[in-house]
Amino acid sequence: MRIAIDTNRYRDFCEGQDDAVRQIRAATMVHMPFTVLAELRAGFECRSLARRNESALCRFLNSPRVVALFADEQTTFHYARIFRQLRQQGTPIPTNDIWLAALVQQHNLLLCSRDRHFDVLPQLGRVN
């Protein structure tokens, strides 16, 4: 199982929440989208434990099963289609989560997230 993790599930994993630990450990490959990396690092900058949190993130990223996932030109087509779908449905979601959904769709991954707003995108495979 190949997954893309959202910010909330990475935090849950770091806090030792059983379901997040189980999901991430069961994955054959864990993709960390660039938007998740940016959100995490922005959060680190705003807290007193920035160095410790960055160190933990680097250890996580250095796992052979973890890879950072970046957008490319093909991602923009997925983003545009998802954006149009959300607009037509009248169900907006945060911009970073549109990028996350686009990467999940482009790379045929399962999304590991607690955010219920992804429910409006039934084409995304989810890890429960």
Please state whether the predicted TM-score (pTM) of the whole model is above 0.85. yes
What range defines the domain where residue 63 resides?
2-126
Amino acid at 2: R
Rounded Cα–Cα distance for residues 95 and 24 (Å): 24
Q: For 48-63, what is each residue's pLDDT tens digit?
A: 788 899 999 999 999 9
Crossing angle for the helix pair 50-61 and 34-45, to the nearest 10 degrees: 160
Cα 127 vs. chain centroid, distance in angstroms? 12
Number of domains in the chain: 1
**What is the residue whose two structure tokens read 């900058």?**
45
CATH number assigned to the domain comprising residue 90: 3.40.50.1010
Q: pLDDT at residue 128 above 80?
A: no
Q: What is the DSSP letter of 40?
A: H
For the segment 94-116, the average pLDDT, to the nearest whole number, is: 97
Q: Where are the alpha helices (DSSP H) in the chain?
A: 7-14, 18-26, 34-45, 50-61, 73-89, 95-106
Q: pLDDT at residue 80 above 90?
A: yes
Rounded Cα–Cα distance for residues 52 and 84 (Å): 40
Q: pLDDT at residue 111 above 90?
A: yes
